[in-house]
Amino acid sequence: MSMTLEEVTTLFQEYCEKHRKLFLPGPNDGPVVKSLVDFYSKHYSIEILCESIEYYIKQSKEPVQIYNFAVESSQIRDHVVAEKRRREDFDKLLHQTQERMNQINRKD
């Protein structure tokens, strides 16, 4: 998955709309978004960036600024990554359980 800088900026606005938060554009939004996209593309993924943005906006009790997100993003990212792993673990366990139940049912 890849996104342009404009698309990421628009994503902030869309999530703010979705979660009824005020979006405050900042003078350095362009360079900050570029830095975020470069960093996440290199070390994580754009999906993680998008999920982090939504989580940040959803939790935010103040008007949303891209710069503030960038400052807090490492903590948010850890949370998002951990939650993603939990979901994957649950799905894996669900699948294993289903396999075992199928085996039991076949024996019966």
Partner 1 sequence: MNYEIALLNSIISSGDVTSCIDQNIDSVFGEYEDVWKFIVSFHGEYGKAPAKDVVKNSFKNFEFFTSEAPLQYYIDEAKKHSLGRGVRSSLYKASEALKNGEDPAKIVSLMQSEAMELMRNSGRLSDTNIVDYNERVQILRDRIENPDKKTLGVPTGFKVIDAHFGGSQPGDFIVLMGWTGVGKSAIARLVAANAWRQGYVPLIISLEMDRIQEEFRMDTILNAGEHFTNTQLTNGVGIDIDDYTGWAKGMFDGKHPIHLVTSDGIESADQNFVQSKIEQYKPDLVVLDYHTLFDDARNGGTETERAKNLSKDFKRIAVRNRVPIWDVSGVTMDGGHEERPPELSEIAWSKQLAYDADMILSIHRKRDEDIFQIVTKKTRRCAPFAFYLEWNLDSGKWKELFDHEAF
Q: Indicate whether 78 belongs to the interface with partner 1 (CB under 8 A).
A: no
Q: Which residues contact 36 (CB under 8 A, 6 or more apart)?
A: 8, 49, 66, 70, 73
98 contributes a contact to partner 1 by CB under 8 A: yes
27 or 108: CB nearest partner 1: 108
Stretch 46-65: interaction string toward partner 1, x if CB under 8 A: ---------x--xx------
Candidates 17, 31, 87, 88: give the one binding partner 1 (CB under 8 A).
Answer: 87
Contact call for residue 71 and partner 1 (CB under 8 A): no
Question: What three-state secondary structure class fits 37?
Answer: helix
Gyration radius (Cα) of the chain, Å: 18
- Residue whose C-alpha is closest to residue 72's, from 42, 50, 52: 52
